[in-house]
């Protein structure tokens, strides 16, 4: 039975676990904060509307709750700063993915160096390299943070894909 693609990929990414987990955490925080921003603005609008309606009805002691609105506005200024986490998250994930691809390619290079010379008499070296890199390296072009953020990934391969997984890649075998 073949291993799950993510399990095999995690074997390479495990070395960069801290960067990957930090990138995923920062992405989650930025997504949560971007979802909370309209809610926080809604709190200020609701409070202002209620205060104004109370003042219009002539409720004794009705006034604008300026301290509450000020805290909400301060929070509203603070929440968008979490959107600055997106490029930081992308930085960590990109470094981890590029390092993983480098490690995979180095492993492929070591495996190619063990192939007997007679193999290269029958096959062109460029075809072998292209096949190995496209089957393995293209799988990582889709950043794992894109998966967590709801993005979609395309995995095209020059030689086609039998099962669409990294199990075609000889790097882990």
pLDDT tens, residue by residue, 99-129: 988 888 888 788 878 888 887 777 776 777 7
The model's pLDDT over 78-105, given as tens digits with 9 standing for 90+, comes to 877 777 888 888 999 999 989 988 888 8
Burial (CB < 10 A; 0-12, 13-18, 19+), residue 161, is: middle
Across the chain, mean pLDDT equals 75
pTM attached to this predicted model: 0.60
Indicate whether 144 pLDDT > 70: no
Is 143 within 8 Å of 154 (Cβ atoms)? Answer: no
User: And the tokens for 103?
Assistant: 């490690």
Per-residue pLDDT band for 158 (boundaries 50, 70, 90) equals very low
Of 27 and 166, the structure prediction assigns the larger pLDDT to: 27
Task: Report how far residue 91's alpha carbon sits from residue 103's, in angstroms, rounded to the nearest whole number.
Answer: 18
31 or 168, which is more confident? 31
Say whether pLDDT at 72 is over 50.
yes
| Residue % of the chain over a pLDDT of 90 | 17
**pLDDT at residue 136, rounded to an integer:** 58
Confidence check: pLDDT of 37 > 60: yes
58 φ/ψ sector (left φ>0, alpha ψ -120 to 50, else beta): left
Q: How far is CA 79 from CA 16, 34, 62, 123, in A?
A: 29, 8, 30, 58
Number of neighbouring beta carbons within 10 Å of residue 166: 24
- Tokens matching residue 168: 């075609």
153 pLDDT higher than 80: no
For the segment 57-76, the average pLDDT, to the nearest whole number, is 88
């Amino acid at each position: 039975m073949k291993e799950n693609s993510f399990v095999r990929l995690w074997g390479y990414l495990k070395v960069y676990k801290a960067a990957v987990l930090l990138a995923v955490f920062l992405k989650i925080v930025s997504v949560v904060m971007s979802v909370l921003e309209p809610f926080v603005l809604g709190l200020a609008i609701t409070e202002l509307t209620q205060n104004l309606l109370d003042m219009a009805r002539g409720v004794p002691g009705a006034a604008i709750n300026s301290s509450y609105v000020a805290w909400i506005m301060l929070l509203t200024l603070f929440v968008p700063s979490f959107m600055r986490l997106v490029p930081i998250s992308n930085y960590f994930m990109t470094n981890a993915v590029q390092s993983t691809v480098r490690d995979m390619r180095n492993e492929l290079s070591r495996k190619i160096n063990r192939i007997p010379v007679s193999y290269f008499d029958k096959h062109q070296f460029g075809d072998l390299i292209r096949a190995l890199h496209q089957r393995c390296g293209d799988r990582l072009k889709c950043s794992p943070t894109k998966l967590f953020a709801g993005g979609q990934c395309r995995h095209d391969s020059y030689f086609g894909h039998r099962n669409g997984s990294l199990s075609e890649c000889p790097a882990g075998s």
